[in-house]
């Protein structure tokens, strides 16, 4: 670095030319105090023009600020685009649909009939321990699981009845303890789910 440790522009040039190591930047920011914004502006301008001091020396402070502003605008635009691209991954899953549950079927003993009951909310509200277990298994918030089981909207299709005695009644709500008792899961897991 340079011997001049009080000129923010000179420090930025020296650090940029030396490779811009993070610890040097932190050290410079700590020493500069009020000169930190000018230091960062100069460092950003050097990065934006790609380097050489001969390129940057032709710029006055206003041009440097314009370049810094453009660079920050580009960073902000990239951030917004990435945020929008990631928006789908943070949307809550629809726990009322079976595909939301199937990736975690091993956590429920691979008992698809039991999973269907859970997805369709054909069980009475479960224990708090089971709600936490479901949230962990599905990778969703506990509140979303609680809301799923608390939802009392009609199950199945409106106006459709199961006429055959072998078909399940889609609007029937089974007691949670009975549903867990019938599930094909290890006894240890069953006991854990039924405990508060």
The model's confidence at residue 132, banded by pLDDT at 50, 70 and 90, is: very high
The model's confidence at residue 129, banded by pLDDT at 50, 70 and 90, is: very high
Return the pLDDT at 156.
53
The model's confidence at residue 130, banded by pLDDT at 50, 70 and 90, is: very high
**pTM for this entry:** 0.49
Sequence-ordered alpha helix ranges (H) in the chain: 8-18, 22-32, 36-49, 53-57, 61-86, 112-119, 128-138, 142-150, 176-182, 187-194
The model's confidence at residue 115, banded by pLDDT at 50, 70 and 90, is: very high
Segment 31-43 mean pLDDT:
81
What secondary structure does DSSP assign to 52-106, as a single string?
Answer: -HHHHHT--HHHHHHHHHHHHHHHHHHHHHHHHHHGGGGSPP-TTSGGGTGGGGG
Mean pLDDT score across all residues of the chain: 77
Contact 184, 109 (CB under 8 A): yes
Bigger pLDDT: 56 vs 107:
107
Report percent pLDDT > 70 for the chain. 73
The model's confidence at residue 2, banded by pLDDT at 50, 70 and 90, is: very low
Segment 96-120 mean pLDDT:
90
Bigger pLDDT: 103 vs 13:
103
Bigger pLDDT: 64 vs 36:
36
Return the pLDDT at 42.
79
């Amino acid at each position: 670095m340079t011997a001049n440790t009080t000129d923010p522009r000179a420090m930025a040039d020296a650090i940029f030319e030396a490779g811009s190591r993070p610890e040097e930047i932190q050290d410079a920011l700590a020493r500069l105090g009020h000169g930190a914004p000018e230091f960062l502006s100069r460092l950003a301008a050097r990065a934006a023009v790609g380097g050489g001091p001969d390129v940057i020396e032709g710029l006055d402070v206003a041009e440097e600020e314009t370049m810094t502003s453009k660079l920050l605008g580009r960073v902000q635009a990239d951030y917004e685009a990435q945020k929008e691209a990631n928006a789908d991954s943070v949307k809550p899953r629809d726990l009322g649909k079976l595909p939301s549950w199937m990736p975690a079927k091993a956590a429920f003993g691979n008992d698809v009939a039991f999973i269907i009951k859970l997805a369709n909310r054909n069980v009475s509200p479960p224990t708090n321990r089971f709600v936490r277990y479901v949230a962990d298994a599905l990778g969703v918030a506990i509140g979303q699981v609680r809301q799923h089981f608390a939802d009392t909207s009609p199950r199945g299709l409106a106006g459709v009845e199961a006429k055959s005695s072998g078909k399940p009644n889609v609007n029937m709500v089974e007691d949670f303890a009975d549903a867990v008792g019938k599930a094909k899961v290890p006894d240890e897991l069953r006991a854990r789910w039924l405990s508060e």
